[in-house]
């Protein structure tokens, strides 16, 4: 994942304070869904990842534009220190707004 997602106005759109709230929320939802699709592809390609599970409102089908992504990532041991220090950076992911979340997510290793 190389660049943060842009949820701001598209080219030719009026300034943000003029854009309808429904359009702004639709863009936020689309950006979140695009991030999840890209994160899924990155995690599938990572041989350290034993599995992933989406939980919360997205998994239950009750999400809205304000819903976050609750993603559990299971890794095969050993877990490198870089993943413990910053899971997003260590897995090659960006947070939804494009900045790592420095140790915000716990990691779980399977027993060998």
Q: How many domains does the chain have?
A: 1
- 6 is a domain residue: no
Q: What pTM value is reported for the model?
A: 0.65
- 9 is a domain residue: no
Residue 80 CA from chain centroid, whole number: 21
- 5 is a domain residue: no
Cα→Cα distances 88→71, 73, 104, Å: 11, 11, 9
The rounded distance, in Å, linking the Cα atoms of 33 and 81 is 29
pLDDT at 28: 86
- 103 is a domain residue: yes
For 107, phi and psi rounded to 5 degrees?
-115, 145
- The residue segments making up the domain with residue 50 are 21-109
- 12 is a domain residue: no
Strands 70-75 and 49-55: antiparallel
- 2 is a domain residue: no
Q: Is 82 helix (H, G, I), strand (E, B) or coil?
A: helix
- 10 is a domain residue: no
| pLDDT string in tens for the chain (112-residue length) | 445 555 556 666 666 566 688 888 888 888 888 888 888 999 999 999 999 999 999 899 998 888 888 889 999 999 989 888 888 888 888 655 433 344 344 444 343 3
Q: How much is the mean pLDDT over the chain? A: 76
- 16 is a domain residue: no
pLDDT at 50: 94
């Amino acid at each position: 994942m190389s660049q943060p997602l842009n949820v701001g106005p598209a080219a030719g759109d009026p300034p943000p304070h003029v854009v309808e709230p429904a359009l702004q929320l639709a863009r936020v939802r689309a950006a979140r869904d695009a991030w999840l699709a890209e994160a899924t592809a990155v995690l599938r390609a990572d041989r350290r990842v034993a599995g992933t599970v989406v939980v919360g409102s997205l998994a239950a089908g009750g999400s809205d534009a304000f819903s976050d992504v609750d993603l559990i990532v299971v890794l095969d041991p050993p877990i490198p220190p870089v993943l413990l220090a910053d899971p997003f950076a260590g897995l090659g992911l960006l947070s939804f707004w494009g900045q790592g979340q420095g140790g915000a997510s716990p990691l779980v290793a399977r027993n060998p």
